[in-house]
Structure 1
Amino acid sequence: MDNNDNDNKKKEEEEDNIEEECFLFNKTIDASPIKNLKFNDNTINIESNYIRTHCHKAHSFDWLTEITDLIKDKSNMVEIAFKNGRKEYFLLQNELKIKVGDIVLVEANPGYDIGIVKLIGEATKLQMRKKNIKISEYEIKRVIRKCRQPEIDKWKNVMDLEFPAIYKSRELARKLNLSMKITDVEYQADRSKAIFYYTADDRVDFRELVKILAEQFSIRIEMRQCGMRQDAGRLGGLGSCGRELCCASWMSKFHSVSTNNARVQQLSLNPQKLGGLCSKLKCCLNFEYDNYLEASGKFPDNSIVLKTKKGNAVFLNNDVFREISWYAYDNEYNKMIPLSLRRINEIIEMNKNKIFPDDLLEVDKNVEEEKPDYQNIVGVESTARFDKKDNFKNKKKRK
């Protein structure tokens, strides 16, 4: 029994170490389930539950895997994922047999790079069409072969150099008084090139910085600017809704968001509530915008005044999904009258024919007044319920 317990403890410790390694590995690249990797001179079998999507984009889903037999012209293009969700497309030659999740060696400019297979077959072709990538205009590079263990070990050692490079580049940018922030560094697997990602509000002249970085690291330097939303998606975090950021978990494209989205959805224009962690307007303002826009299109213009014999009524507010609008008479703004969409259109048609109804609510039985769900039980809400006890105590003290 003792030996079994010791063996179980050793297995648990090994699994914990593996999970820590995979956590670091997955932070570096957008990883898929990988098997038979070697970390710390130990060959391990990494199951899919160890590779966690820690603040990274969702994996591409190949929905054509079950119907490959029906596809006549199979595509030989594959989608390869690299760090920070960067994905590129490569040509598969020499009938190389690979599957999703394999670590492969691919051509780069210059040298070679290492990535993980995300999509194969016809799904890759459709993905390229979705991103408006034409094969005739695209610089097609080849998949060389599957990676060997020494190459994976070298790749891991190269990735360990990225964090020191970030801090070093930030110090250099600070000394040069450049208004930019180096957010991440991506080394090529053969250590011949490094991509420095940065954010900046305005255009930055970083030519001097590139010269110094090339001298410091003795590699080819490439600078890429990323927006605030992309940077927030790379770092990850929790939104005001309590869930992981959409840009970090599943969003791959960022559409423009304006304050008009908030106005259409009848939200208060409060920058603290409408702004996200990236200090920009929240992307989720776009999610229901089309529904609100379509529903609000059924309503007449808010500037139309409803004329009745009792007086003119002006628009105050509406509920687009319940199809209810609130109006008030000119001299009674504190009294809001709910009207259904049918009744509003009916009054407008009557006004066009110079007919004025006696009242807004005339013949309108579709809108019912909402009654409160609570009840005042034994005077619980009375503010004077505590005064009686205090008076009783004071009488006792006086005696």
Structure 2
Amino acid sequence: MSAMTTQTNRCTQLWKQENCSTPLQINSCCSSSCCLRLKDSMETSSQEQQASKPAETKHFVGIQFHSAGEIVVCSAKEFEFKQGEQVLIQSQQGKKLGTVIKASYDKAPQQEEIPQILHVATKEDIAHDRALKEKALEYLAVCEQKVKERKLPMKLTLAEIVENGRKAMFTFFAEDRVDFRALVKDLATSLRLRIEMKQIGARDEAKYKGCLGACGQVSTCCSTFLRSFKSISIGMAKNQGLSPNPAKLTGMCGRLKCCLAYENEQYKENRKGLFKISSVVSTPKGSGTIFNIDILKRTYSVRLDEGGEDIFSANDCSKLEGAKQIARERVMSQRQSEEKKKGELQRERQEKFEKRIEEKKRKISSKPSAPRNNQKQGPKRNNRQKPHAKTPAPPKENKS
């Protein structure tokens, strides 16, 4: 027993002299079995020490800086915050005010740098943030004046003061790339701040400014609840059976409406198994051609071969294939030939009728017309003779 303890003491002395810290280093300094026992005892003691330490509780909260903006996950340590509460955050751009959107996250976010929540925003913090926003509006007016002077093709949207008042960030919209280097130099000399210009698209511009929705809502979806934009294609409109009319499919931003993506997955699911328009199907009332589809109700509007139109359920219709399709094509070709003959006969009758009308017009125009008397006629005289007035009798002479 004494020999074992002396060997252990010798190993510990060697371990201290060699500054061994890992199992490989401990095993290299001595090949005896007591060194392995010493390693195990050190590992168990370190595990007990770690277990005895109080665990640090980490709490993460979702924050937004703008209305319907991107949610940024921040560290709240052991503090708890309520949804809708304003907090002060320490980020790369300095201290900023944010609003709590999600009170807690189950898992840690996969971000390189996690902003830290300092405390709940006080009245002084809110007043300071309001003053910065008012100052940013003044800077925005100055920038707009500079843009007009330089005649740059850009529309300013937003101005922010970040990094504790040492930097001004301007957000603008432009269709193409804009060379704003001279503008940045001019703004830096006039405002005495660091300047950053950020270009955004048409959708982001509508999101920041806000406008009436085409459907009659007070504000558009992007400025109310949409956090990010999805890619919208004209194929989504085709899946839902909408006519490709640009006036109805484009939003206030001039791009395809974001709401086309809301029901796209449901329409794609309901569209499975349905025939395409102009497909030939067999119905309870005979064969016909599909000219319209109701995707949600899963019904077809069919133009029947026998004449007329009707609506049938998708379960009651089957696609004509093989011999049935060939027989139908023969019948339809015979009908088309008969209709063609009827059309030709009707056309001939119409041509004959038009020829008769033209001949009558020619006969009427070939007749000689009565000569017209172009001399001016005097006023008409009344042929009735007026009664002659009685002549007075001569006076009688007196014989006396």
Normalized against structure 1, the TM-score is what? 0.59
Deviations 1:216-272 (A, max 9, x none): 222222222222222212222322322232112111121121222222222222222
Corresponding position of 1:317: 292
Superposition deviation, residue 208 in structure 1: 2.0
Number of the residue aligned with 2:238: 263
Q: After the TM superposition, which residues 186-265 of structure 1 pair with which residues of structure 2 at under 5 Å, given as runs? A: 186-188=160-162, 190-243=164-217, 244-265=219-240
Q: Supply the distance in 1 between the matched residues of 2:62 and 2:281 (Cα, whole angstroms).
A: 60
| Alignment match, 1:154 | 128
> Any residues of structure 2 matched to 1:18-33 within 5 Å, and which?
none
Matches within 5 A, 1:54-203: 75-84=58-67, 85-93=69-77, 95=78, 98-109=81-92, 111-122=94-105, 125=107, 128=109, 134-135=110-111, 138-188=112-162, 190-203=164-177
Structure 2 CA distance for partners of 1:337 and 1:221, relative to 1, 3 Å: same
Q: Residues 216, 336 of structure 1: CA spacing in aligned structure 2 closer, same or farther, 3 A cutoff? A: farther
Contact 1:307 1:351 in 2 (8 A): no
> 1:101 & 1:312 partners in 2: Cα distance?
62
Instruction: Give the deviation of 1:341 after TM superposition.
Output: 1.7
Alpha-carbon distance, 1:296 to partner: 1.9
Q: Do structure 1's residue 344 and structure 2's residue 317 form an aligned pair? A: yes
1:183 deviation in Å? 0.5
How has the CA–CA distance of structure 1 residues 97 and 307 changed in structure 2, closer, same or farther, with 3 Å as cutoff?
Answer: closer
The higher radius of gyration belongs to 2
Q: Distance in 1 between matches of 2:122 and 2:231?
A: 43
**How much has 1:297 moved relative to structure 2?**
1.8
CA distance in 2, matches of 1:315, 1:102: 57
Q: Does the 8 Å contact 1:158/1:189 carry over to 2?
A: no
Task: Provide closer, same or farther for how the CA distance between residues 311 and 194 of structure 1 changes in structure 2, counting only shifts above 3 A.
Answer: same
Looking at structure 2, the residues matched to 87 and 323 of structure 1 have their Cα atoms a distance apart, in angstroms, of 40
Q: Higher relative contact order at CA 8 Å, sep ≥6: structure 1 or structure 2? A: 1
Give 1:356 shift.
Answer: 6.2
Q: How far is the alpha carbon of 1:347 from its aligned partner?
A: 4.3
Change (3 A) 1:339 1:106: closer
**Aligned equivalents of 1:78, 1:311: Cα separation in 2:** 64
C-alpha displacement at 1:331, in angstroms? Answer: 9.4
Amino acid of the structure 2 residue aligned with 1:165 = Y
AA matched with 2:214: S
Partner of 1:286: 261
Could you tell me which amino acid in structure 1 is paired with residue 317 of structure 2? I
**Native 8 Å contact 1:74 1:122 kept in 2:** no
Offset at residue 346 of structure 1 (A):
6.1
Structure 1 residue 339, shift from structure 2 partner: 3.3
Q: 1:101 Cα shift?
A: 4.5
Q: Greater helix percent: which structure? A: 2
Cα distance in 2 for partners of 1:292, 1:247 equals 22
Classify 1:323/1:313 alpha carbon distance in 2 versus 1 (closer, same or farther; 3 Å): same
Q: What is the alpha-carbon distance in structure 1 between the residues aligned to residue 83 and residue 314 of structure 2? A: 54
Within 2, Cα distance between the matches of 1:99 and 1:303?
A: 57
- Work out whether residues 76 and 120 of structure 1, in 8 Å CA contact, stay in contact via their aligned partners in 2: no
Quote the sequence identity (%). 30
1:225 aligned counterpart, secondary structure: strand
Structure 2 counterpart of 1:305, one-letter code:
V
* Equivalent pair of 1:110/1:192 in contact (CA under 8 Å): no
Which range moved further: 101-110 or 215-224?
Answer: 101-110
Q: Could you tell me how far 1:146 is from its partner in structure 2? A: 4.2
Give distance in 2, aligned partners of 1:212 and 1:320: 58
Cα distance in 2 for partners of 1:311, 1:117 equals: 63
Residues 147 and 320 (structure 1), Cα distance of their counterparts in 2 relative to 1, 3 Å cut: closer
Over 3 Å counting, the alpha-carbon distance change for 1:188 and 1:344 in structure 2 is same
Kindly indicate whether the alpha-carbon contact (under 8 Å) linking 1:114 and 1:189 is maintained by their aligned counterparts in 2: no
* CA apart distance, 1:74: 5.4
Contact 2:203–2:253, Cα closer than 8 Å, also in 1 = yes
| Counterpart Cα distance in 1 of 2:273 and 2:323 | 18
SS of the residue 1:107 aligns to: strand
Give the deviation of 1:179 after TM superposition.
1.7
User: Which position in structure 2 is the counterpart of 1:39?
Assistant: none
Does the CA-based 8 Å contact 2:80-2:103 persist in structure 1? Answer: no
User: CA offsets, 1:320-341, max 9 Å, x none?
Assistant: 2222222336796xx4343332
Superposed displacement of residue 193, structure 1 = 2.0
Contact 1:75 1:122 (C-alpha < 8 Å) held by counterparts? no
Deviation at 1:97, TM superposition (A): 6.0
**How far did residue 174 of structure 1 move?**
2.6
User: What is the distance in 1 between the residues matched to 2:328 and 2:239?
Assistant: 31
Please report the RMSD computed on the Cα atoms of aligned residues, expressed in angstroms.
Answer: 3.6
Task: Assess, with a 3 A threshold, how the Cα gap between structure 1 residues 242 and 325 changes in structure 2: closer, same or farther.
Answer: same
Q: Is the Cα contact below 8 Å between 1:307 and 1:356 reproduced in 2?
A: no
Q: Which amino acid aligns with 2:209?
A: L
Q: Which structure 2 segments of 5+ residues have no match?
A: 1-54, 332-400
SS of 1:222's partner is strand
CA 1:155–1:321: 2 relative to 1, 3 Å: closer
Distance 1:73 1:301 in 2: 61
Question: How much does 1:186 deviate?
Answer: 1.6
- Find the residue that maps to 2:215 and give its secondary structure: coil
TM-score by length of 2: 0.59
